[in-house]
Amino acid sequence: MTSGAPKREVLPEASNEEGLYALTAALVRTVRNAVDRSDSDGLRELIAPLHDADIADLIERLPSDDRHQFVSLAGDAVSGEVLAFIEDDVRETIIRQLDAHKVAEAISDLDTDDAVAVLEDLDPPQQREILEALPNQADRIGVQESLTYPENSAGRLMQREVISLPAFWTVGQTIDFMRENDDLPDDFYEIFVVNPRQEPIGTVRLNRLLRSQRPIRLRDIMERELHVIPADTDQEEIGFVFDQYDLISAPVVGASGRLIGMITVDDVLDVVQEEAEEDIFRLSGVQEADIYRAALQTAGGRFIWLLVNLATAILASFVIYQFSGTIDQMVALAVLMPIVASMGGNAGTQTLTVAVRAIATKDLSLSNVHRVFGKETIVGLLNGIVFAVLTGGVAAAWYADMALGFVIGGAMVINMLVAGMFGLIIPVVLWRLRIDPATAAGVLLTTVTDVIGFLAFLGLAGMFLL
């Protein structure tokens, strides 16, 4: 998300202890000691060689009580770039304790996308106070307009600083313009060629520009194949487009089709990581940046899914209760019962993980879902047969009861077959209902495999053992 400040020299000890990452345990301890002593000069000297991202990590590692003291002692070293790198929850806490003018000064040199990242999660009154304190009116208007777009959209992700030139300009004019203009993006890889209506019609990569003769016009060297991104496009879709077409940047257009900004590959790298983390968190029923939340907030965030899990566990227990008489007559059933449910749950989770990922990367679609469903059904059946033989043999030998081995083997086949089928069906149905499969698929699948596993095992036992 950051515009990529130039990396400074890291501390010599970093390369010896932790390789390419500049933060070491010794450095963190030394910084904490400097904070405890309120040693401003010593702290500034310690963090001077660090990259902005490493300073952000350093702030996150400090206890919450020390973070404000660190920011106060570090002064200007906590720049807008540092704020952009810090995790959302930590950043909000820090900004709440800072003067609005200090925050505005820190973010005034950031590209629009980074300034938006710093401000977008703040309360509206605090946002307005910081925006009003921005010294440059054009920056203020640009950030305000970006904040009007939906969260996680191209309008929030883009930077408005962009080079757009008419097709009749020459290479020489373009190079001279960039040399003489101080108001250029911090990082850019392409020049966007626009028509008189300011609609993008092509791009010229910098390497192509620098290898061309000065009299050549941009229209003669521009790439006409464009991947134009509407401002309301979701960031997950943007990540897919960049990955699919190996883009390094892409133009963003408003409702009228006019060029209003660009998205660069460094922004998309953050998006890809964020989306992957979000899916992992949702599969586990936790929130992003959970590690930085207070204990009470963390408990509240996890409560809902734990409550849903409790409801599904009660449903599974109700199924077991229906066969309580069967279990009373044969204690071995209670011992072996968790094996069937556990194996089904694990098999289903494997299919579920593959399906959720395939949906996210668009490898799974309506055109091939039937083929994938058939494959996963066969996989579930084959694994079910193999593990039926293994568990059935162990159970038969353990209890000297061949019939018990056949029962648990049959239940294993049924549950792993169902797990393979529903590991695909559940995320696909949620996807078609426009519900994120990562949010609820895990809980639903666990319910299915538990209920079917218990029902199959205890039902077969009731029919053939008693």
**Contact criterion met (CB below 8 Å) for 445 and 352:** yes
pTM (2 decimals)?
Answer: 0.69
> How far, in Å, CA of 134 to CA of 76, rounded?
17
Please report the pLDDT score of residue 42 as a whole number: 93
Q: Give me the average pLDDT of each 10-residue run along the chain (466 residues).
A: 42 47 86 93 92 92 88 90 88 86 88 88 89 87 91 92 95 94 86 96 95 96 94 92 92 95 90 74 60 67 72 84 82 89 91 86 86 93 95 93 94 95 93 81 88 92 87
Residue among 28, 113, 110 at smallest CA distance from 67 = 28
Please report the pLDDT score of residue 287 as a whole number: 58
CB-based contacts of 372: which residues, under 8 Å, 6+ apart?
Answer: 355, 358, 364, 424
> How far, in Å, CA of 90 to CA of 242, rounded?
30
Please report the pLDDT score of residue 24 as a whole number: 86
For strands 190-194 and 200-205, give the pairing. Answer: antiparallel
> How far, in Å, CA of 288 to CA of 164, rounded?
37
Residue among 240, 243, 241, 263 at smallest CA distance from 251 = 263
Residue 446, Cβ density class (10 Å: 0-12 exposed, 13-18 middle, ≥19 buried): buried
Buried b (16+ CB within 10 A) or exposed e, 169-182: bbbebbeeeeeeee
What the block records as the tokens of 124 is 């509206």
Mind listing the domains of the chain with CATH numbers? Answer: 12-148 (1.25.60.10), 164-264 (3.10.580.10), 294-464 (1.10.357.20)
> How far, in Å, CA of 92 to CA of 127, rounded?
11
> How far, in Å, CA of 273 to CA of 28, rounded?
26
What is the edge-to-edge ordering of all strands in the sheet holding 200-205? 164-166, 190-194, 200-205
What the block records as the tokens of 310 is 């409790």
Buried b (16+ CB within 10 A) or exposed e, 5-26: beeeebbeebeeeeeeebbbee
What the block records as the tokens of 193 is 């060629």
Please report the pLDDT score of residue 281 as a whole number: 66
Please report the pLDDT score of residue 17 as a whole number: 46
* AA identity, residue 214: R
For strands 164-166 and 229-230, give the pairing. Answer: unpaired
Torsion from C-alpha of 99, 109, 158, 9, nearest 10 degrees:
-110
> How far, in Å, CA of 192 to CA of 226, rounded?
10
